[in-house]
Amino acid sequence: MPSIQDLYAPEYSHCWGCGAAHPYGLHLKSYLSSDHTYCYCHHIPDAVYTGGVPDNLYGGFIAMLFDCHGTAAAAALYLAAHGEELTADSLERFITAHLEVDYLAPTPMGTELEIRAYPVEVTDRKVILSLELHCGERITARGKMVAVKHHRPTAE
């Protein structure tokens, strides 16, 4: 099954966090759950992304995970809410309008993380998401995102 990011149009594939075409990026991969009720992403951060406290993940990196995964999740969950299939042709790009992060506990390095995004509200132009960062059995951060549909510029 291709990731949501694998379905992005080429002009939207250059993000450092999730763009498949970025030569130095992380190439995050997000997936729609089999029941279409949430999206998930797995990632093990490199040691270079430790924060001010050794062996803990930098908080800005957590915000980036929520941002990149959240916009991909918004696009997929928008289609799911409207009863449409997730394909390269149907996928529209969403961008972040608002992101807030609550850090609940330190996130240790060297552990596979799971980022989950759940739809709270889906309208014709925006998706509001609830986000969770899972480190094993523990949730170490929660977030809220408002993502809006990006409209491609029209040729004049």
Task: Please state, in angstroms and as integers, the Cα–Cα distance from residue 77 to each residue in 24, 86, 117, following that order.
Answer: 28, 9, 9
What pLDDT does residue 135 have? 97
What pLDDT does residue 66 have? 98
What dotted CATH number matches 5-149? Answer: 3.10.129.10
Residue indicated by tokens 């279409």: 36
> What are the structural domain ranges in the chain?
5-149
Burial class (CB in 10 A: 0-12, 13-18, 19+), 76: buried
* Residues 19, 24, 26: CA angle, nearest 5 degrees: 55
pLDDT along the chain (156 residues), means of 10: 90 83 90 97 95 92 97 97 95 96 97 98 97 97 97 62
Residue indicated by tokens 């929520």: 66
Retrieve residue 6's tokens. 């694998």
